[in-house]
Amino acid sequence: MLSRFQVVFVMVCAVLSASGIRAADETASALRLTLPAEIYAVVGVEMNVYFDNIVLTQTPEKFGFEFGCDVGTVKTRRWQVLPEARDVGRHKLTVTVRSSGGQEIAQKATTLHVVPADIGDGRKVKIQIVGDSLTHASAWPNEVARLLEKDGHPEWRMLGTHRPSSAATGVVHEGYGGWTWQRFVSKYEPEPDGTHRKRSSPFVFFGENEKPHLDVARYFDEHCDGERPDVVFFLLGINDCFGANPDDSKAIDARIDLMIHQADLLLASFHKAAPDADLAICVTTPPNARESGFKANYKGRYHRWGWKRIQHRLVERLLSKFERKLAGSGDAADHFFVVPTHLNLDPVDGYPENNGVHPNGFGYRQVGASVYSWLKWRLN
């Protein structure tokens, strides 16, 4: 008898064979299957890996995706797990991509961590969130807060200065539309107007040397009553890299190099100011699967496939850098983490038809679930 994932794969290949469709370039180097070393899930909270988010292709439907794991099932465009109490623990998850003819193209493995729903009960956790317009919308921080309000969860509090009207009770952050790692490191506005559009970075101050400078410790002292967070989430990267030339791989890497340099500066300042805090780098989210979203936003100036190529390379670079940092030695390495926020975001149903990079309510909740699941694992 065929398993569920085998049935899905056979159906895909049958349709492709009947229509005569074949992938243009069925090679591992072309698809660039990319997985983080670890994935996180909580009992009772759905988690997914969408096929389109782990490979570089315009036509993920032309390939067969097999998921080997003792939990979860394969759906039409994703692998899904809704963990039960009996699933708590570590599970090996192997992804195999096959051509329309059934030949294996690529295979990679990751570890799925499933933790109990009541992990962290009775503990206290202070959370800081730093981001761009995806965070400014406050939808995914709201979802993290909603999930943390369930029974058997830690007492939580968010630190920050920005509380948009869309933020739920208790939700504050440092998320601003259009912002980059560099803006948080160096932006200084000598004449702020009280809005988020014309303001300095909350972490940049005018110093004794008559020049603005990055000072995260002063931020905590002056804006957070001297308190330090237990964990800081950073969800950035879209504005840093969106304008790179997608047809020039060297230009993409050069833009990412600049972004990573600025990220290192901000992360180092946070680690110095709050040495016991976990610094969680959220992987930059994938684009809307529909070109219509980019047409509505950018009128033909930028395209979905262009940003997809940049974003996929950015994912590769983020995983390579920060997972390698985790494998390093020393106290600092113990406080850097990668949150796979890109896997669980539905590139179709998680986006409106008229926006290329900003999810809809459902998509934002998926991002929030990914952050929440990592946080619960860390509290384990």
Is the pLDDT assigned to residue 272 strictly greater than 70?
A: yes
Q: Are residues 213 and 297 in the same domain?
A: yes
DSSP string, 308-347: HHHHHHHHHHHHHHHHHHHTS-STGGGGEEEE-TTTT--T
Question: Cα-atom radius of gyration of the chain, to the nearest Å?
Answer: 21
Band of the pLDDT at 23, cuts 50, 70, 90? very low
Q: Are residues 325 and 208 in the same domain?
A: yes
Q: Are residues 238 and 91 in the same domain?
A: no
Residue with tokens 């439907």: 61
Q: Are residues 235 and 368 in the same domain?
A: yes
Band of the pLDDT at 28, cuts 50, 70, 90? confident
Output the CA angle 190-196-201, nearest 5 degrees: 55
8 Å CB contact between 134 and 176: no
Is the pLDDT assigned to residue 92 strictly greater than 90?
A: yes
Q: Are residues 87 and 227 in the same domain?
A: no
Q: Are residues 97 and 138 in the same domain?
A: no
Residue 227, domain extent: 124-378
Task: State the average pLDDT over residues 187-197.
Answer: 86
Q: Are residues 109 and 131 in the same domain?
A: no
Q: Domain with 296 in it: what CATH number?
A: 3.40.50.1110
Q: Are residues 54 and 149 in the same domain?
A: no
- Tens-place pLDDT, residues 275-330: 999 999 999 999 999 999 999 999 999 999 999 999 999 999 999 998 855 444 44
Output the CA angle 288-26-70, nearest 5 degrees: 70
Residue 35 CA to residue 45 CA, distance in Å, equals 21
- Tens-place pLDDT, residues 324-344: 554 444 455 689 999 999 999
Q: How many domains does the chain have?
A: 2
Least confident window among 28-32, 43-47, 125-129: 28-32
Q: Are residues 109 and 178 in the same domain?
A: no
**Helix/strand/coil (H, E, C) string of 17-78?**
HHHCCCCCCCCHHHHCCCCCCEEEEECCCCEEEEHHHCCCCCCHHHCEEEEECCCCEECCCE
% the chain with pLDDT above 70: 91
Question: For the range 316-322, what are the long-range contacts, defined as Cβ-Cβ under 8 Å and sequence gap of 24 or more?
Answer: 316/32, 316/34, 317/253, 317/256, 317/260, 318/237, 318/281, 318/283, 318/284, 319/34, 319/36, 319/37, 319/283, 321/260, 322/281
Domain boundary among 115, 133, 148: 115
Q: What is the pLDDT of residue 228?
A: 98
Task: State the average pLDDT over residues 358-376.
Answer: 98
Q: Domain with 97 in it: what CATH number?
A: 2.60.40.10
Q: Are residues 136 and 68 in the same domain?
A: no
Q: How many CB atoms lie within 10 A of CB 376?
A: 26
Mean pLDDT estimate for the chain: 91
Output the CA angle 176-179-184, nearest 5 degrees: 95
Residue 61 CA to residue 355 CA, distance in Å, equals 22
**pTM greater than 0.95:** no
Least confident window among 17-26, 281-290, 358-367: 17-26
- Tens-place pLDDT, residues 99-143: 999 999 999 999 999 999 999 999 999 999 999 999 999 999 999
The letter for the amino acid at 343 is: L
Q: What is the pLDDT of residue 323?
A: 84
The b/e string for 167-178 (b: 16+ C-beta within 10 A; e otherwise) is: beeebbbbbbbe
Q: What is the pLDDT of residue 380?
A: 85
The letter for the amino acid at 232 is: V
